């Protein structure tokens, strides 16, 4: 059973349908005390980091997420759900994240627009994985995935950078993770075959 966290800022329907298409049994999680009841947890998200973290804290879900991660439950953050895994974000000020993966969330370089790269970074782009590919990333080497974001994650530990992408000449983290925690900057539910493969791999993942 997969718990899909519903805090009012995620593309829940599309993510749920994608997980179900690859064999997942999905239930929305709307109360903090429900989070620890599931075999896997997915945190989707669109919108602002500050608002997301405020909602997670106010509902008690922030502490519940940390608890379930500490218990070893496989956890996946998607897009904004990946960014809130980090220590802090510089989106509209400085805001603390869940600190499940040390690092920062930063805006693409200001001169990117001047050099012809629109922000947000939106559309199909690469997901470059190393030779020692993480098990959840098996079978998608060389595939493109679908991104929509203006901010990117910069993990402190290079070993926690599991896949990368470049927008123009600027590299950023596509997938991050450690132990039982994963984050994907792109939207697997919008990434067609590659995205479904990743979600199926997550369902079968045994960290």
Token pair, residue 182, equals 């994963």
Catalytic residue among 95, 121, 149, 187: 187
Catalytically annotated residue among 104, 160, 189, 200: 189
Q: Which of 187, 49, 160 is nearest to 107 (CA)?
A: 49
Is 134 tagged catalytic? Answer: no
* Whether 165 is catalytic: no
Distance CA 9, CA 48 (A): 9
* Catalytic one of 79, 95, 112, 143: 79
Helices (H) and strands (E) in the chain, counts: 6, 13
According to DSSP, residue 155 is labeled: E
**What are residue 40's DSSP bridge partners?**
2
Residue 56 makes CB contacts below 8 A (sequence gap 6+) with 7, 62, 65, 84, 98
Q: Are 107 and 149 in contact (CB under 8 A)?
A: no
187 carries an active-site annotation: yes
Name the burial class of residue 169, with classes exposed (0-12), middle (13-18) and buried (19+) by CB atoms within 10 angstroms of its CB. Answer: exposed
Half-sphere exposure of 99 (CA within 13 A, CB side): 4
Q: Mind telling me the catalytic residues?
A: 79, 187, 189
């Amino acid at each position: 059973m997969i718990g899909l966290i519903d805090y009012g800022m995620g593309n829940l329907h599309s993510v749920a349908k994608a997980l179900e298409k690859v064999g997942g049994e999905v239930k929305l999680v709307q109360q903090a005390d429900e989070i620890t009841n599931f075999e896997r947890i997915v945190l989707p998200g669109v919108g602002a980091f500050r608002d997301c973290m405020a909602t997670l804290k106010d509902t008690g879900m922030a502490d519940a997420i940390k608890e379930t991660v500490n218990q070893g439950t496989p956890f996946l953050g998607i897009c904004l759900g990946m960014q809130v895994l980090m220590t802090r974000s510089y989106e509209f000020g400085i805001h603390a994240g869940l600190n499940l993966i040390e690092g920062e969330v930063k805006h693409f370089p200001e001169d990117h627009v001047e050099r012809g790269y629109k922000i947000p970074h939106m559309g199909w782009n690469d997901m470059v994985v190393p030779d020692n590919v993480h098990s959840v990333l098996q079978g998608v080497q060389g595939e493109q995935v679908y991104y929509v974001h203006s901010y990117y994650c910069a993990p402190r530990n290079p070993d926690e950078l599991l896949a990368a992408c470049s927008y123009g000449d600027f590299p950023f983290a596509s997938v991050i993770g450690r132990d039982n925690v994963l984050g994907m900057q792109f939207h697997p539910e919008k990434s067609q075959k590659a995205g479904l493969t990743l979600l199926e791999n997550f369902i079968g993942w045994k960290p």
